[in-house]
Amino acid sequence: MDEQSIRSLLQDYKAGQIDESIILSALKKLPLTAVEDIGFASIDHYRELRQGFPEVIYAAGKTKEQVLTIMQSLYDKSKGNLMATRASVEQFEYVSKVLPVMKYDEAARMIYVDRDKRIKRDKERTILILTAGTSDIPVAEEARLTAYLWGNEVKTHYDCGVAGIHRLFAHINDIESANVLIVVAGMEGALASVVGGLTDKPVIAVPTSVGYGASFNGIAALLAMLNSCAAGVSVVNIDNGFGAGVLASKINRLR
């Protein structure tokens, strides 16, 4: 049961078309249908009603059969967009044989379906994604596709890091007009602080595992971003483009 179903029940009750016993019966079934136990996973079908988006599959470490089983259940029992992050081509090819509506974004490493007709993207409330380098693009693309599927207008500018800071200033109009910004950077992670000093909007910093030995697979960028002197910069985990996309979406929904 989704939000629209509950709303319809309440409207019918208010109009005198159904009695309270029908509503009570429907609500009593919610806890029973909220979680589906399929042995190797417990699928949270209540998440779409609770958070506005169905459960997202983390495909890494799962077999192609497991990904398909979970995706099939979510596809059948939800109305929203669906995604499986960190998915392989092999997993996609297996899933798409049963669910041909699924698509694969190689850069974002994501299996997804964009089917939610209820979404109306607001062009006046854009999420802007910036990367320091080209090597940061896979993480940025995960953030971009996540934010888009969650119902946002998304714009990107890639390879505009501090090594050639004039490249960043070429996008100053978009930086000033964006409602939320995601900054993806490896190496020393300096771009997040620079962007944080240029805007009055929230900045979500994503450290990546890009860099030579002393970058320690993203730890150097993570610590630099956590220690940013620019106010209003938050930080997600290393390479967590998905987490940044979701957080930006939740911020962007606030009115």
Dihedral-angle region of residue 232 (phi above 0 means left; psi in -120 to 50 means alpha; beta otherwise): left
Specify which residues 235 forms β-bridges with: 205
Distances (CA, A) of 105 to 38, 138, 199: 27, 10, 31
For 109: left if phi > 0, alpha if psi spans -120 to 50, otherwise beta; the answer is left
Q: Residue 79's pLDDT band (boundaries 50, 70, 90)? A: confident
Residues 133 and 210: beta-carbon distance below 8 Å:
yes
Provide the phi-psi class of 250: left if phi over 0, else alpha when psi is between -120 and 50, else beta: alpha
Residues 106-146 pLDDT 10s: 999 999 999 988 889 999 999 999 999 999 999 999 999 99
Cα–Cα dist 66/61, whole Å: 10
Confidence of residue 176 (pLDDT cuts 50, 70, 90): very high
Strand blocks (E) in 73-170:
82-85, 103-105, 110-113, 126-131, 153-157
Segment 68-74 shows an average pLDDT of: 95
Determine the topology of domain 126-253 in CATH: Rossmann fold (3.40.50)
pLDDT category, 28, cuts 50, 70, 90?
low
- What is d(CA 165, CA 194) in angstroms, rounded to the nearest whole number? 9
Instruction: Quote the CA–CA distance of 140 and 167 in Å, as a whole number.
Output: 17
Q: Are 205 and 236 in contact (CB under 8 A)?
A: yes
The model's pLDDT over 187-235, given as tens digits with 9 standing for 90+, comes to: 999 999 999 999 999 999 999 999 999 999 999 999 999 999 999 999 9
**What amino acid occupies position 231?**
A
| 8 A C-beta contact, residue 215 and residue 221 | yes
Domain boundaries along the sequence of the chain:
31-113, 126-253
Predicted local confidence at residue 231, as pLDDT: 92
Q: Residue 86 — pLDDT band, cuts 50, 70, 90? A: very high
- The confidence score (pLDDT) of residue 25 equals 74
State yes or no: pLDDT of 24 exceeds 80: no
pLDDT class of 13 with cuts at 50, 70, 90: confident
Quickly state the pLDDT bin for 82 (edges 50, 70, 90): very high
Q: What pTM was computed for the model?
A: 0.87
pLDDT (mean) for 159-182: 95
